[in-house]
Amino acid sequence: MGKLDGKVALVTGAGRGLGRAYALRLAGLGAKIAVSDIDLRSYEEFDAERQAMTAESTVAEIEAMGGEAIGIQCDVADPAAVDAMVGQVMQRWGRLDILVANAGGGRGRPMDTTATQLDPALLQLVVGMNLYGTVYCCNAVGPIMKQQRYGKIVTVSSVAGLSPSRDGGYAHYGAAKAAILHYTRYLAQELGPYGITANCIAPGTIQTGRIMSTVIPGSIGGNQDRSERVALRRLGTVEDCAKVVEFFTTDLSDYVTGQVIAIDGGMMR
């Protein structure tokens, strides 16, 4: 018996990286998983992500574990596409218990994205995929979870949403992630009376392909050992984050809502 037997989870941005790890973990707990991504083969972009794959897609990996999953290609920054994605999940399984609104990330180089040099198109893109994408997903699942009088929503901020970077880079991303965190507190207030929890995670530096090959090299002082800034003296793994997602999506967190947990090993930014 898995803790999430009978439950249906939607994980956005699950083609690679952290989202893939959340999808695999929730599937391992017995949930049926809607694996969503703007590109379900996004792992092909980075060697490290490609090498981590044990099958040709996250869906295939879950099926190989004996789980049930569907893949849905969807841009979370497009509200009509998000509604269609959630409609597809409902058509397939008739319920939706868990949303992990993970799709997002930064774009551009930290050194080019300080607060006074934000390119409008890049700002639009990053706020769209992170903040708007999260809101559109919550808009779509909210009525369903209210009717079920059950639901667990996990939103994804970042340590960049808790405090600014030392060099001021990635200001667009930090602002979008701070907004997600505060939006989650509003979600919790609205949805609490329906028995729905909404919590947020704020990962630190987690070793995904994108972070290791684009973000760190594009930062000022990118060649410095980042683990020196972390109390636990190591960078995070996708599993470190998946464990906290397990907490927020199972009964372990039934009386916890509107909270944020930093998963950063005790990082000083």
Ligand X SMILES: NC(=O)c1ccc[n+]([C@@H]2O[C@H](COP(=O)([O-])OP(=O)(O)OC[C@H]3O[C@@H](n4cnc5c(N)ncnc54)[C@H](O)[C@@H]3O)[C@@H](O)[C@H]2O)c1
First to last CA, the chain: 41
CA 57/CA 69 separation, integer angstroms: 11
Q: Residues 156, 183: contact at Cβ < 8 Å? A: no
Which of 11, 26, 59, 76 is in the footprint of ligand X by CB under 6 A?
Answer: 76
Does 135 interact with ligand X (rule: CB under 6 A)? no
Site string for ligand X, 209-238 (x = CB under 6 A): xxx---------------------------
Which of 31, 42, 97, 136 is in the footprint of ligand X by CB under 6 A?
Answer: 42
Which of 7, 13, 183, 244 is in the footprint of ligand X by CB under 6 A?
Answer: 13
CB of 168 to ligand X, least distance (A): 17
CB of 216 to ligand X, least distance (A): 9
Q: Within 10 Å of residue 209's Cβ, how many Cβ atoms?
A: 19
CA 130/CA 113 separation, integer angstroms: 16
Name which of 100 and 144 has its Cβ closer to ligand X: 100
Which of 137, 175, 198, 206 is in the footprint of ligand X by CB under 6 A?
Answer: 206
Does 33 interact with ligand X (rule: CB under 6 A)? no
Name which of 15 and 142 has its Cβ closer to ligand X: 15
DSSP bridge partners of 156 = 201
Residue number with the shortest CB distance to ligand X?
17
Tell me the one-letter amino acid at 202.
A
Q: What does the block give as tokens for 7?
A: 């439950």
Left (φ > 0), alpha (ψ -120 to 50) or beta: where does 26 sit? alpha
Would you call 170 a catalytic residue per the annotation?
no
Which of 11, 23, 59, 77 is in the footprint of ligand X by CB under 6 A?
Answer: 77
Name which of 1 and 80 has its Cβ closer to ligand X: 80
Does 205 interact with ligand X (rule: CB under 6 A)? yes
Alpha-carbon distances, residue 142 vs 20, 102, 139, 196, 227 (angstroms): 23, 16, 5, 9, 39
Q: What is the CA radius of gyration of the chain?
A: 17
Contacts 24+ apart (CB under 8 A), 63-66: 65/24, 65/27, 65/28
Name which of 15 and 265 has its Cβ closer to ligand X: 15
**43, 136, 173, 183: which is the annotated catalytic residue?**
173
Going by their DSSP bridges, the two strands 98-101 and 151-156 should be labelled as parallel
Which of 22, 24, 72, 104 is in the footprint of ligand X by CB under 6 A?
Answer: 104
CA 30/CA 213 separation, integer angstroms: 33
The catalytic residue positions are 173
Site residues (vs ligand X, CB under 6 A)? 12-13, 15-19, 37-39, 42, 74-77, 102-105, 129, 133, 156, 158, 203, 205-206, 208-211
